[in-house]
Amino acid sequence: MLAIGAAAILGFGAHPASAEASVTLGTTNWRNMAIGVTPSAVGVSVRTTDQGEQVELSDQQHVVVVFGYNGEPYLRIDREGTWVNRRSPEGYINRTTRPQPHVPTRFDAHAAPDWHRISHGHLYRWPDHRAHHTSGTAAKEWRIPITIDGRPAEIVGSLRYVAPHAPTAALMVGVIALGIGVGVVMRWSRRGIVTLAFIVAATAVIQLAAQHQATTSPFLDQLGPTLYALGTFLSAAAVIVATTRVQTGATAPITLLGGVAIAVCGGFARFDWLTHSQVPTALSYAVATSLVTLALVLGGILSGVAVRELRREPQPSK
């Protein structure tokens, strides 16, 4: 049921047109936000997505032209759809999230634009490197030149450092989970083990869905970044199956392995979420870090339950 729910939440719907680069999100202390378009125009909107890695522009009323790194026309959105200049060097550079040092000669900023319609829609995303944080970059206000119906304008954004703060909510959740789990550790309870494992599985589904929602990259491209959430879910599922279906003698070893895997995949692998202010999820910081702490604590509790059971001496036969 949890797996079906995850698939339903994630979905496989088509994304709006975007540049070729696929964005893989990580933790950071830099917040990148689009402020807007100046001067503003009715119907023209802009925002940043994927933790500021992509700029998203939409319009249905005007002819909006975005200019590239060398001042050449790069992107055009009009009533007929979205067009990209195939001669623009920016089109080649934006194929990766890291700027390329060499651009093939067929991409010429001084050549006449070769407009190619890539979508009948009116929304486009691209990883504009003028808005990105690079090594040695300080806080800045970035600008991307555009025209709206031939009139000069700019997309304006802000890149700011946000210092990490103490994950107070996560620590409180961890303490509460630890207290509740003590009762399970003190007494080998199949119902208690299943309950803890089910909670872990549910949080893994939430994390998987929230990580997917935080990015505009295709689902298949996010299998790597979401692998830890998937590993957490599968480990919790193994504990549930072992506790409810497997013979008693094999339950403790599987629970031990599952608990360790949960603590590693759901907790230690995401420990950097507790030390950075920007995390790759659609959840709030308090909720996201609380789920990390919860997986870490519950994974440890399940491991402790299994170790206690394995060390328990067999009862003498009468």
Is the CB of residue 216 less than 8 Å from the CB of residue 18?
yes
**Which phi-psi region, left, alpha or beta, contains residue 257 (left: φ > 0; alpha: ψ -120 to 50)?**
alpha
Q: Which residue has the higher pLDDT, 21 or 318?
A: 21
* Token output for 293: 């702490």
The per-residue pLDDT for 293 is 95
In this prediction, residue 3 has a pLDDT band, given cuts at 50, 70 and 90, of very low
> CA-CA distance, 16 to 13, in Å (whole number)?
10
> CA-CA distance, 121 to 118, in Å (whole number)?
9
Dihedral angle computed from the Cα positions of residues 239, 240, 246 and 252, in that order, rounded to the nearest 10 degrees: 40
Phi, then psi, of 58 in degrees rounded to 5 = -140, 150
The per-residue pLDDT for 189 is 74
Measured CA angle at 181 (ends 177, 182), to 5 deg: 125
> CA-CA distance, 27 to 292, in Å (whole number)?
14
Q: Give the global pTM.
A: 0.80
Percent of the chain with pLDDT over 70: 85
Residue 116 has pLDDT above 80, yes or no: yes
Average pLDDT of the residues in 292-302: 93
Residue 46 has pLDDT above 80, yes or no: yes
* Token output for 311: 């060390």
The per-residue pLDDT for 11 is 42
Q: What is the mean pLDDT of the chain?
A: 86
Taking alpha carbons only, the member of 83, 85, 25 closest to residue 49 is 25
Q: Which residue has the higher pLDDT, 163 or 310?
A: 163
| Interval 69-95: pLDDT, tens | 999 999 999 999 999 999 999 888 887
